[in-house]
């Protein structure tokens, strides 16, 4: 995660500020003296595509798309919700941000980002459409990420809008399949990626003087304990923090130490156990394929078929016929 961030680019803004930068719904609401309906992130609901959301322990992940033809305003009041990190999935988004009596115009390239605190009021005029993955991090999750990295707790992090961050972008994109099909997502996988995002943001944006990063790995006993906990939850409902606490290590040390010991991430290791368990049941039992899938933590039979086929080269039905 040791990646230098690049500065943002500032571009001319096309639309005028004020009511001209509002969507049709916002203009109508302004004339009637009423506020337009907004979502939890302050976006005008009428300008958004179908929402996608996932929530976990101390975080919420969103995918928000804004129609290209609509101009609107994003607006949130100061609160104690923590911070919000956003990653642009496409090119061409432009917005004007109003802050402390000033305004600045920004453009976003693919994989560029912004990070802002909910402690401050936020107001921005949206000129062009956008497609963003956004991660809301609660204060307690932010504080734990600081503790994981031996840094003093902070209540806010920020970076200039439009900043390039390939690491954050890669992690955000890894969540797209889970956002599109939350019923098939594993809590362990989402939590693992969300944890990596939190640690990355703190490492890059904290601004403090961290102690030398702990490079010690995990003992054989700690690795075995982690594996036991993961196997006990083939459904993938165990969380990174739970396993790390049981092993007496920080989340960053757990993820790094587990991968050093096994060659794979905790979720990848769990997925292998699911596949092995499915193969065992396919060969040694007469359970219907759908029941095998559910007992091994897959969301359904088709999910098991795709995963087993990808990992072994044979579909579940072929494994059963061969034996």
CA distance 273 to 214: 29
Please state the φ and ψ torsions of residue 64, each to the nearest 5 degrees.
-125, 130
Q: Which two tokens stand for residue 75?
A: 């607006």
Closest by CA to 108, choosing from 90, 123, 125, is 90
Q: How long a stretch of residues is the chain?
A: 323
Per-residue pLDDT of the chain (323 residues; tens, 9 = 90+): 333 333 333 333 223 333 333 444 444 444 344 577 999 999 999 889 999 999 999 999 999 999 877 778 899 999 999 999 999 999 889 999 998 889 999 999 999 999 999 999 999 999 999 999 999 999 999 999 999 988 999 999 999 999 999 999 999 999 999 999 988 888 899 999 999 999 999 999 998 765 655 556 799 999 999 999 999 888 778 899 999 999 999 999 999 999 999 999 999 999 999 999 999 998 888 889 999 988 888 888 888 889 999 998 888 888 887 76
Exposed, middle or buried by CB within 10 Å (0-12, 13-18, 19+), for 160? middle
Q: Do 88 and 131 meet the contact criterion of CB atoms below 8 Å apart?
A: yes
Exposed, middle or buried by CB within 10 Å (0-12, 13-18, 19+), for 103? middle
């Amino acid at each position: 995660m040791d990646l230098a961030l690049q500065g943002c680019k500032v571009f001319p803004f096309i639309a005028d500020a004020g009511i001209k930068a509002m969507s049709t719904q916002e203009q109508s609401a302004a004339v009637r003296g009423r506020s337009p309906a907004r979502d939890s992130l302050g976006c005008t609901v009428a300008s958004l595509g179908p929402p996608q959301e996932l929530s976990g322990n101390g975080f919420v992940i969103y995918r928000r798309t804004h129609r290209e033809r609509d101009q609107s305003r994003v607006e949130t009041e100061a609160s104690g919700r923590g911070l919000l990190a956003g990653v642009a999935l496409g090119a061409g988004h432009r917005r004007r941000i109003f802050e402390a009596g000033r305004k600045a115009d920004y453009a976003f390239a693919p994989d560029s980002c912004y990070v802002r605190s909910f402690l401050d009021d936020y107001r921005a005029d949206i000129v062009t459409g956008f497609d963003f993955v956004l991660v809301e991090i609660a204060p307690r999750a932010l504080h734990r990420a600081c503790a994981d990295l031996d840094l003093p707790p902070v209540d806010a992090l920020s970076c200039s809008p439009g900043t390039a961050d390939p690491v954050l972008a890669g992690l955000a994109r890894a969540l797209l399949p889970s956002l599109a099909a939350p019923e098939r997502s594993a809590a362990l996988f989402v939590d693992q990626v969300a944890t990596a995002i939190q640690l990355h943001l703190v490492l890059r944006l904290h601004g403090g003087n961290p102690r030398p990063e702990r490079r010690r790995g995990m003992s054989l006993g700690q690795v075995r304990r982690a594996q036991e906990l993961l196997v006990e939850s083939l459904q993938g409902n165990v969380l990174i923090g739970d396993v790390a606490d049981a092993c007496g290590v920080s989340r960053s040390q757990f993820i790094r130490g587990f991968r050093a010991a096994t060659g794979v991430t905790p979720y990848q290791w769990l997925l292998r156990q699911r596949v092995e368990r499915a193969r065992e049941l396919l060969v040694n039992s007469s359970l219907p394929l759908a029941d095998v899938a559910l007992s091994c933590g897959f969301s359904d039979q088709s999910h098991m078929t795709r995963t087993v086929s990808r990992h072994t080269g044979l579909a579940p039905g072929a494994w059963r016929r061969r034996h």
